[in-house]
Amino acid sequence: MSDNWTLADIPDLDGKVAVVTGANAGLGLEITKGLAGAGARVIMACRNQSKAEAAAELVRAGNPRGSVETGSLDLANLASIAAFAEGLNSSLDRIDILANNAGLMALDESRTDDGFEMQLGVNHLGHFALTGQLLPTLLATPDSRVVSMSSMGHRPGKMHFGDLNSENHKYSRWGAYFQSKLANLLFTAELQRRLARTGASTIAVAAHPGASHTDLGNEGSSILNKLVTPLGKLYTQSAATGALPFLRAATEPGVPGDAYFGPRLLSWGRPVRETPTKRARNEADAVRLWNLSEELTGISYLD
């Protein structure tokens, strides 16, 4: 695998279908541009439809080889996820790439419509439910991929299995974020194990963007939240560069299941294969998280 991978290395995606969550801004918008630019049909799954349509027009203005369209998806609402998945399963005969990109970072304490801690609910549980409900179409597509966006923040992350939703211990905006990003990698590993047992050609992989300048972290009210934008402009790489590890994980031929990509220098640079932390590779924790995720969302698959 090359250490100098760029957008030019994305193979021809003509005829492929991709679903990108959180596609209207930041990393999701750059992922959409990369996939559509290589010829894919991209469904931009977003909560805010006016922002989604504006982003879609921006992508179209770049004259990509592929096409983009928008779909309404609120990952903080299980009913919205079910409706979105039902619509895609009934209208599409293939999904080649499910890009579980959308995320929240360092929010003030809040809850999803179903009562989950917001960061765990959107970053992990929402994507867990979405993946399960789109799985029939993914499995019907040869060599499809489920790609999840993790973070360097998984490294200090710890799973609070007795209190995943921060109901019985003091809420920490960063602790909740780190937990959700660790959950993304535990989910990827367990999803890959279960897919492999079925003999399916579908694989699960993951990526992280390093230190990339996006609008993540702006929603919170802490002093650190307020410093995210000014510090980000000085010390981070562009969202376009930050999206490259995800695009490589999603498109490079021959990528094995459970592969994890990130910037070459951890925070910056070209995308390369990485190794998650020992916690992220704990199989018992991955199974425990899977079982709890099924219990919380009411969505069971690949038993």
Domain annotation for the chain: domains and CATH numbers: 7-294 (3.40.50.720)
Q: Is 171 helix (H, G, I), strand (E, B) or coil?
A: coil
pLDDT tens series, the chain, 303 aa: 667 899 999 999 999 999 999 999 999 999 999 999 999 999 999 999 999 999 999 999 999 999 999 999 999 999 999 999 999 999 999 999 999 999 999 999 999 999 999 999 999 999 999 999 999 999 999 999 999 999 999 999 999 999 999 999 999 999 999 999 999 999 999 999 999 999 999 999 999 998 866 675 445 454 444 444 455 454 579 999 999 999 999 999 999 999 999 997 667 678 999 999 999 999 999 999 999 999 999 999 999
Burial class (CB in 10 A: 0-12, 13-18, 19+), 273: middle
> Helices 127-139 & 283-297, crossing angle to 10 degrees?
100
Distance CA 273, CA 80 (A): 34
Active site residue 171: no
Distance CA 253, CA 259 (A): 12
Catalytic residue among 171, 177, 235, 260: 177
**Secondary structure letter of residue 14 according to DSSP:** T
